[in-house]
Structure 1
């Protein structure tokens, strides 16, 4: 029994260490958070960004490991989903900005002068896909 607990502890620690290192590498090497602050002109709130990342990682880990149920009205999911969508969208925008995805893609497919249309197509596709996912699978 003691060996089983030791192996479980070791496996959990190793998995957490691997995910944590990947998360830190994603944030620091690619410079996602600094670029996001630069794009939104919110560099003065750097401490808030730091605490948001720390609390988000800790609470995400805690909620994924514990059986937590939110007994709330379905109307609370509208602002939560909106905030979640804004966060994911801004993080994806910062990631594509850092990696220069749009200019490279536009140059490769030959539409350098229509990069705004490319961005709007991607945004509208993401919106339609998200709405389909949430409305269809939520059963609304």
Structure 2
């Protein structure tokens, strides 16, 4: 591979990483996951701990994924990790249901109040298409 191709590959890889990272941060910020979590458990003095845990978790598991490291831990660890992952997904799903309340306002401002069904179907079909593409094309390689 020529040097300019390697440089271009590095630039595109970094740009993609910045986009995904920015999207993740924007998603977490828009959903107010950390402030809502601290509000629910009345742990405002621990908000910096929640923020650090979110950052360290994302960086650690990204690094493990890049290195291809597989943790062969006992079943008990899988149970604990699965419980925490399930809690996170549950909180994320609850936050997403609150975000869905924004869609009617968004559609009204775009003068698309009659097309809310089409907006929802576009979101659902986009998600299904992306998931199928990932499952059928990307994983087989």
TM-score exceeds 0.5: yes
Match of 1:90 in 2: 91
Over the residues paired in the alignment, what is the CA RMSD in angstroms? 2.1
For residues 32 and 49 of structure 1, the distance between their equivalents in structure 2, rounded to whole angstroms, comes to 10
| Cα pair distance change 1:100/1:11, threshold 3 Å | same
| C-alpha deviation, 1:67, in angstroms | 1.0
Tell me if the contact between 2:34 and 2:47 (Cα under 8 Å) persists in the aligned partners: no
Matches within 5 A, 1:98-137: 100=101
| Cα pair distance change 1:64/1:53, threshold 3 Å | same
Match of 1:4 in 2: 5
For residues 77 and 54 of structure 2, the distance between their equivalents in structure 1, rounded to whole angstroms, comes to 23
Match of 1:15 in 2: 16
TM-score by length of 1: 0.62
Q: How many residues align?
A: 101
Q: 1:20-76 deviations in whole A, cap 9, x for unaligned?
A: 111121122332221222122222211101101111221132122111011222332
Tell me if the contact between 1:31 and 1:98 (Cα under 8 Å) persists in the aligned partners: no
| Cα pair distance change 1:37/1:91, threshold 3 Å | farther
| C-alpha deviation, 1:18, in angstroms | 0.5
Say which SS state the counterpart of residue 26 (structure 1) adopts: helix
Task: In structure 2, list runs of 5 or more residues that go unmatched.
Answer: 103-141
Task: In structure 1, list runs of 5 or more residues that go unmatched.
Answer: 102-140
Tell me if the contact between 1:32 and 1:98 (Cα under 8 Å) persists in the aligned partners: no
Relative contact order, CA 8 A, sep 6+: which one is greater? 1
In the alignment, does 2:74 pair up with 1:61?
A: no
Match of 2:31 in 1: 30
For residues 101 and 40 of structure 2, the distance between their equivalents in structure 1, rounded to whole angstroms, comes to 14
